[in-house]
Homo-oligomer: A and B are copies of this chain.
Amino acid sequence: MLRVAVVGATGYAGAELVRILTGHPAVKLTAITSRQYAGVRFDHVFPSMAGHVDLVCEDLSIENLCDRADLFFLSVPHKIPMEIVPGLISKGKKVIDLSADFRFRDSETYEAYYQPHSSKNLLEKAVYGLSEIYHDKIKGADLIGNPGCYPTSVLLPLIPLLKEGFLEAESIIADSKSGVSGAGRSLALTSHFCEVNESFKAYKVAAHRHNPEIEEVISRETGSTTLITFVPHLVPMTRGMLTTIYARLKADISSEDITKSLLSFYSGRPFIRLCDDIRLPDTKHVTGTNYCDIGFRIDKRTRCLILISAIDNLVKGAAGQAVQNMNIMFGYEETAGLKSVPYPL
């Protein structure tokens, strides 16, 4: 059994990691940390898991943790990972970091949007953990920068079509809508029930940190600097993210071309489901799962492709993709721990 630890286990993504890893057939969860709940049983923080998890949250101490796990999931705010990852890597540990610290190859972009980076030398070593796209690199990686939820929902539908050259790359707009769990468990008026319930709004319009993350990946994959317009919105529901992407199609690209391209690109990838002519992605269809559902329509009059993806922001958008990356790194079945039958409602 692979011994794994979750650093930052009592945030929403961390708790999802605990849930998935507890049910994973090939790993043993040996340690969990939480600044806020150190000394408290995990199932006192998340009582749903009583009878499933008997771990006690610990303070974060690498010395203390280091010998007890082979793989570390970091689910703490950016800046902390860049401080502890060097120590872990130097001791031969593997790391999957869910923060932004190791997502960028270009440290200048990172520093423009976050803060000075204290472990730049590791950026080269880090692999961007968008599982379906960087599968081969993930296999050999020691350090994964696990993607943001918005980038996952934008990049998965978009990359195959951009690589095919089907789209006018300068025209891309991504209008994303996220459930409230994306804002985390930290208290804030913007996550206060009465402020969010029965409300819909945009936020950080064309100013979200996931924007440069998306652009760096797209630019790398297409080989030329590409900008996109990205606007996130908040939906009054707990889980789920839907992204509606708009892009001008190049002449003569048909619906069949797009279907064929997506099917071929994602052939054999267990977590991508292409919707047919009848149905379109709905966040309810992916709740609690690691799926990314993709669908599209074409407005022929305007040659605009409308490309839609749905994910569970906490699973494919965070913890599930992290476990998928672990499965790839360690040669487990890619779906191990992630196969439970989805709920009908």
Contact = CB atoms under 8 A, between A and B. Distances in A.
Interface of A: 12, 15-16, 18-20, 22-23, 44, 46-53, 170-171, 173, 175, 177, 179-181, 185, 187-189, 191-203, 205-207, 227-229, 231, 233, 235-240, 242, 244, 246, 270, 273, 275, 278-289, 291, 297-299, 301-302, 304, 306, 308, 310, 340-345
A55 to B, nearest CB: 13
Contact of A273 (B50, B171, B246): B50
Contacts of A231: 244, 306
B50 A202 contact: no
A343 to B, nearest CB: 6
A22 to B, nearest CB: 5
Contacts of A275: 47
B201 A242 contact: yes
A202 B242 contact: yes
Contact of A236 (B20, B191, B237, B299): B237
Contact of A200 (B207, B242, B288): B242
B229 A306 contact: yes
A195 B344 CA distance: 10
A240 B194 CA distance: 12
Given A200-B282, A200-B283, A246-B229, A12 B301 contact: no
Given A192-B187, A279-B47, A297 B206 contact: yes
A238 B288 contact: no
B49 A282 contact: no
A10 B259 CA distance: 29
Given A48-B286, A177-B233, A284-B198, A227 B301 contact: yes
Nearest to A203: B280
A191 B194 contact: yes
B19 A343 contact: yes
B302 A228 contact: yes
A227 B50 CA distance: 34
A282 to B, nearest CB: 4
Nearest to A23: B341
Given A193-B193, A198-B239, A229 B341 contact: no
B200 A237 contact: yes
